[in-house]
Structure 1
Amino acid sequence: MNEKKKALVVTTVASTIDQFCMNDISILLDNYDVQVAANFTTGNNTSKERINEFKNELINKNIVINEVQFDRNPLSKSNLIAYKKLKSLIQQNKFDLIHCHTPIAAMLTRLAAIELRKKGIKVIYTAHGFHFHNGAPLINWLLYYPVEKWLARYTDTLITINKEDYERAKRKFNARKVEYIPGVGIDLEKINLVKVDKDLKRSELGLPKDAFIVLSVGELNKNKNHEVVIRAIAKLNNPDIYYVICGKGQLSKYLANLSKELGIENQVYLLGFRKDITEICKSSDLFVFPSYREGLGIAALEAMSCGLPIITSNVHGIVDYSTDGKTGYICKPTDVDCFSKHIKSLYNDLDKRSEMALNNIEVVKIFEIKGVKNIISNIYKSLDT
């Protein structure tokens, strides 16, 4: 009987595996013994309770957990310790395949695997959105672009999840293969099965039944740019418009204080990490996604699948699905007036919201999970040839 092959999945923090990598792992489990390596202790954008639940889920699938203290700060000394531990892990286990995600983990993984690649180990890197892109700050290009370009030579397959990154990687990077997949996959069947009593859900969240609910989902950090929406709603001076944000992060107090300073603290709800995002989407009226950078944006795609019109920024992977006047509206990330104008117009136009909702349910189908899993499965199979 042949011994089962070994695969390692590496991310900087464990919540990335939970939110974005389990489809890949489900495919790998058919042919590999799977291990994961990530920081399960700090830096995660979900709750400690969820991380503990996730650990148990991995153990129940016979997936070996390796705690590696990666730090999202590329200059942190702890990443040197993490590199040494990761290199030792790779050498001791003699993996056949390593699939890495997120910039820090992917950088350290590819460095640690340089010598073993000469012995046949395959290394895949999924870039969930390069930090350098059209309109990105110059510092991002100076810091991240040279590193990614250099490390591409130590990558057997570089997977990109938006068209801008794919075209740039094909032209500029020297990975053995560059592939495009439409994100990590949206489970439309699962989303469609969720039924919700809209009034009851709003009551549970403390929201008025007749309020106009604007929703955002994402970590409370500078990149997600929730501030622009708070300022946009404040300009409207309409007490019937509420802003609900699902997510946790370092800007929680800042956003709460900003809402108070602008006099709309009673209209802004910071709900923290939630497990009922689909129910909240189906109880809302509009989804706003104002990020400065997004590899694609699974939160927006899930909102679209729930029949919500979207107002988004005009950057990076978001433009793969966000079309001005069709799926919703598009604004520059810093344009408060633009977000304010379009929130107001959709508040006043139920017919337009309904039309965009139907458009979005169709648009999102190309990001459905079955097609994505087929592509990933074929990429894994191609490494054996």
Structure 2
Amino acid sequence: MENKVEVKNKKALVVTTVASTIDQFCMSDISILNKSYSVQVAANFTIGNNTSNERIKEFKKELKEKNIIINEINFNRNPFSKDNLLAYKEIKKLINDNSFDLIHCHTPVAAMLVRLAAKKARRKGTKVIYTAHGFHFLKGAPIKNWMLFYPIERWLSRYTDVLITINKEDYNRVKKSFKVGRVEYIPGVGIDIKKFSEVVIDKEAKRKELGVPENAFLVLSVGELNKNKNHETVVKTIAKLNNPNVYYVICGQGVLDGYLKNLIKGLGLEKQVKLLGYRRDIAEISKAADVFVFPSFREGLSVALMEAMALGLPIICSKIRGNVDLIEDGKGGYLVEADDVQGFVKYIDKLISDNQLRSELAINNFKQIENYSIDNVISDMEKIYLNKVKS
């Protein structure tokens, strides 16, 4: 007997600027939607992704195996790129041709173009949901971010049925200032705590693979090599520590690869600081590390930071929106101004000499991260999708 293919009458579209965002942040949403909807995705699968070309090819195959329809749209992460004029026409045609019941958009460029393109569809009943993974305007952000992004996001909120925020600062701002259908808060994209708690490694072998001595103090950062992730500050911190037993590894790829290599060479840190590129074994590397350092200038609610907490690492991170939701100063780690090299030096030095303190901070983080579990997020998203239909 042939297997019957389930026919789903409702249609949903998930849109991000680049495909790696869907891969890293949207698959649990898609799994929820796929129970009741025929799901399509739209993103740029060719340029702008922060994972390898090999991973993008694998991801496309995985989507097809789940019967997810792929639409390749020429979005550009630069909001001023002319590519986005064509992308707007492409996404508008896709929306108008398909009569989607629900569109869930992520990332600033895709969310802007989708909400403009979906105005006609909304009049016909399509519901538009936008997850803001961290607005570009936040306390302490450059004035240009406020002048450009704040009025655009505030204006576009009127074309949004549900606006989801993942940190408390964004939630409070939207509630106070935006004219949106509904605003919801969910605790990030969710962390599979059980999976991370089961990670076991041969620490000596992993360090040997990374070129790190067994008895070294290992500092880890994870994030795209760009200005916002601010790895430069930690590289300068390692130089300032002037301790040959401290090693620093960065997992990630990006436009500042060459700049950081030159900085590392100029500071004479080629032996101690290593750019590992895009990695698929970050959990294992985390288990080989002693502390997770996260100096970003801007975050929404960082998955990398949450994963480090779930993997039992003490944290030293920038004192910014999102990070302060996760880390209470002195409890799970330490909060430092993003460009405060001396502050990072102080707390790395403190943790080097105190094994008991590192253990206490790590235990606190593992307890704290339970509030951000994938089960909690899935439950919240199921309610949002259900209530969307009834609204």
Q: State the TM-score, normalized to the length of structure 1.
A: 0.99
Q: Distance in 2 between matches of 1:22 and 1:116?
A: 25
Shift of 1:380: 0.2
Which residue in the other structure is 2:73 paired with?
68
Shift of 1:41: 0.1
Match of 2:165 among 157, 160, 167: 160
Q: Distance in 2 between matches of 1:251 and 1:178?
A: 36
Match of 1:233 among 223, 234, 238: 238
Q: Is 1:27 the equivalent of 2:32? A: yes
3-state secondary structure, aligned to 1:288 = strand
Which residue in the other structure is 2:119 paired with?
114
Which residue in the other structure is 2:44 paired with?
39
Equivalent AA in structure 1 for residue 114 of structure 2: T
Deviations along 1:291-311, one digit per CA (max 9) or x if unpaired, are: 000001110110011110000
Q: Distance in 2 between matches of 1:150 and 1:307?
A: 42
Deviations along 1:324-374, one digit per CA (max 9) or x if unpaired, are: 111111110111100011111101111110110111110111000000000
Match of 1:300 among 298, 305, 315: 305
Matches within 5 A, 1:1-20: 3-20=8-25
Which residue in the other structure is 2:133 paired with?
128
Which residue in the other structure is 1:365 paired with?
370
Q: Distance in 1 between matches of 2:331 and 2:266?
A: 35
Match of 1:276 among 258, 278, 281: 281
Matches within 5 A, 1:158-197: 158-197=163-202
Which residue in the other structure is 1:345 paired with?
350
Unpaired runs of 5+ residues, structure 2, are: 1-5
Q: Is 1:216 the equivalent of 2:221? A: yes
Shift of 1:316: 1.0
Equivalent AA in structure 2 for residue 43 of structure 1: G
Deviations along 1:212-246, one digit per CA (max 9) or x if unpaired, are: 11000000000000000010110111011011000
Matches within 5 A, 1:196-207: 196-207=201-212
Unpaired runs of 5+ residues, structure 1, are: none
Equivalent AA in structure 2 for residue 321 of structure 1: L
Q: Is 1:319 the equivalent of 2:324? A: yes
Q: Distance in 2 between matches of 1:257 and 1:345?
A: 29
Deviations along 1:109-144, one digit per CA (max 9) or x if unpaired, are: 000001110110000000000000000000000010
Deviations along 1:195-223, one digit per CA (max 9) or x if unpaired, are: 11111111122211111110000000000
Contact 2:135 2:300 in 1 (8 A): yes
3-state secondary structure, aligned to 2:322 = helix
Which residue in the other structure is 1:290 paired with?
295
Q: Distance in 1 between matches of 2:359 and 2:215?
A: 17
Equivalent AA in structure 2 for residue 370 of structure 1: D
Q: Distance in 1 between matches of 2:266 and 2:333?
A: 29
Q: Distance in 2 between matches of 1:364 and 1:72?
A: 30
Shift of 1:3: 4.8
3-state secondary structure, aligned to 1:12 = strand
3-state secondary structure, aligned to 2:104 = strand
Q: Distance in 2 between matches of 1:284 and 1:380?
A: 39
Q: Distance in 2 between matches of 1:383 and 1:311?
A: 39
Contact 2:8 2:38 in 1 (8 A): no
Which residue in the other structure is 1:56 paired with?
61
Q: Report runs of 4+ in structure 1 exceeding 4 Å deviation.
A: none
Q: Distance in 2 between matches of 1:308 and 1:80?
A: 44
Q: Distance in 1 between matches of 2:151 and 2:123?
A: 23
Q: Distance in 2 between matches of 1:180 and 1:143?
A: 24
Equivalent AA in structure 2 for residue 140 of structure 1: N
* Residues 338 and 375 of structure 1: CA distance in aligned 2, closer, same or farther (over 3 Å): same
Matches within 5 A, 1:328-339: 328-339=333-344
Which residue in the other structure is 2:144 paired with?
139
Q: Distance in 1 between matches of 2:214 and 2:346?
A: 24
Q: Distance in 1 between matches of 2:86 and 2:353?
A: 56
Match of 1:151 among 145, 156, 161: 156
Q: Percent identity?
A: 62
Q: Distance in 2 between matches of 1:65 and 1:2?
A: 18
3-state secondary structure, aligned to 1:10 = strand
* Residues 194 and 83 of structure 1: CA distance in aligned 2, closer, same or farther (over 3 Å): same
* Residues 235 and 91 of structure 1: CA distance in aligned 2, closer, same or farther (over 3 Å): same
